[in-house]
Structure 1
């Protein structure tokens, strides 16, 4: 037996032996039934501040990938015409990390969603896991990486050009380019996060999960506040956009 197709090898990312064993066993389970159009969360006693066991965390991860992957593919094909929608979902077991998930592209331009082990262990239920997965998938669908790269490139050109025009040396020009890229790259970062929260809400909802419950993940994260040029919006703003999006979906005003 081999690992499921949604957990391929990826440079620098692999499965921890214990989690891999759990996932291999779970991979033999029958596929989950198709999600209901309207999700009603069942009582979840482990949600109230308690961490999941390793086996439950692994089972939840497999279950969420099984339900989310086809919806992510469908939303990507519908919204991001011409984009590569062949997502890889991988597990990052590098040691010493804080809970994190991220979206990137591999060398071939294939979208990659990575979850590290601390994050898989940190989430309290499948709704939180699905919301995070939808959020990361939304970054690619919305084209945030190329948009941010373009903005950063423009900032580097502008600030570097100004430094050169004032006659600064090559090292100072390079430093100005780096500063310009960093500032410009962060200019829309908070907007991108909110866009991903909104679209991630839709994706999780369409897969049969409860995004409002999933967004409670933010209540356990340090609040970045509303810092100027910060990379993430305040947690309250993120929860608010999820609630407003769910209200629209319940009213039939899907985006």
Structure 2
């Protein structure tokens, strides 16, 4: 079950801190948009978040159980990171018990223009856990640190230089497959979003308002256009019944 509290948002929008359970959320519901920024009023943004979390939860856990078959916990929690920040952000992690956590910051909730965008980001972050990306990135970092540390030691480096080489290797290793992980999460996230009754293509338009990282060497995220293309192809397959 997804559990979350709205924290700061409660003061400006809603009473209570538990998402209502919904069978299916309305897609592309008309909302009132502030004309100066294009952002939703805080009350509407908070209501969208609650509704999307309630609709996405059963689909996320269903997909998790089907794909992991008991190898990972599928008891997701949705949390709001209320630390002040200017940049919209969401991330996936696990708690001490190994349960998956999806965190949205307030800037992202405010920036999302419709429920589809919130649903797609939520599906994307949920997919990282389902696909085991946290452990994969940890192994990548460990392998990079080991390789660079061995090379530094073989060249006669002192302990401080070996430590620096290991840190650099861990950073390079963690980024080596990062773009592939992001694209895989986009694809599975689109499937989860679709199954929950939202529009993944409309949701992925969130990328068009983010700075495009382009195709930088060892960048952590793919180019926005590449991500949109992955979602487009996935939606075509969903519509044709190929997935």
TM-score by length of 2: 0.92
Give secondary structure in 1 for the equivalent of 2:52: helix
| Correspondent of 2:47 among 50, 59, 71 | 59
Q: Is the 8 A contact 2:112 2:118 kept in 1?
A: yes
Please, which runs of 5 or more residues in structure 1 have no aligned partner?
Answer: 9-13
Alignment of 1:102-121 (within 5 A): 102-121=91-110
- What are the Cα deviations for residues 153-177 of structure 1, in whole angstroms up to 9, with x where unaligned? 0110111011111111000000000
2:226 matches 1:237: yes
Alignment: residue pair count: 241
RMSD: 2.3
Q: Is the 8 A contact 1:23 1:62 kept in 2?
A: no
Match of 1:11 in 2: none
Match of 1:6 in 2: 3
Alignment of 1:85-104 (within 5 A): 85-104=74-93
1:110 deviates by 1.3
Please, which runs of 5 or more residues in structure 2 have no aligned partner?
Answer: none
Inter-CA distance 26–156: structure 2 relative to 1 (3 Å threshold): closer
Inter-CA distance 91–26: structure 2 relative to 1 (3 Å threshold): closer
Q: Is the 8 A contact 2:28 2:115 kept in 1?
A: no
Match of 2:61 in 1: 73
Alignment of 1:1-255 (within 5 A): 6-7=3-4, 15-16=7-8, 18-19=9-10, 22-25=13-16, 31-32=21-22, 34-35=23-24, 41-42=28-29, 46=33, 50-81=38-69, 82-254=71-243
1:46 deviates by 3.5
Inter-CA distance 181–205: structure 2 relative to 1 (3 Å threshold): same
Runs ≥4 in structure 1, deviation > 6 angstroms?
none
Give the stretch that moved more between structures: 77-86 or 196-205. 77-86
1:248 deviates by 0.1
Q: Is the 8 A contact 2:2 2:76 kept in 1?
A: no
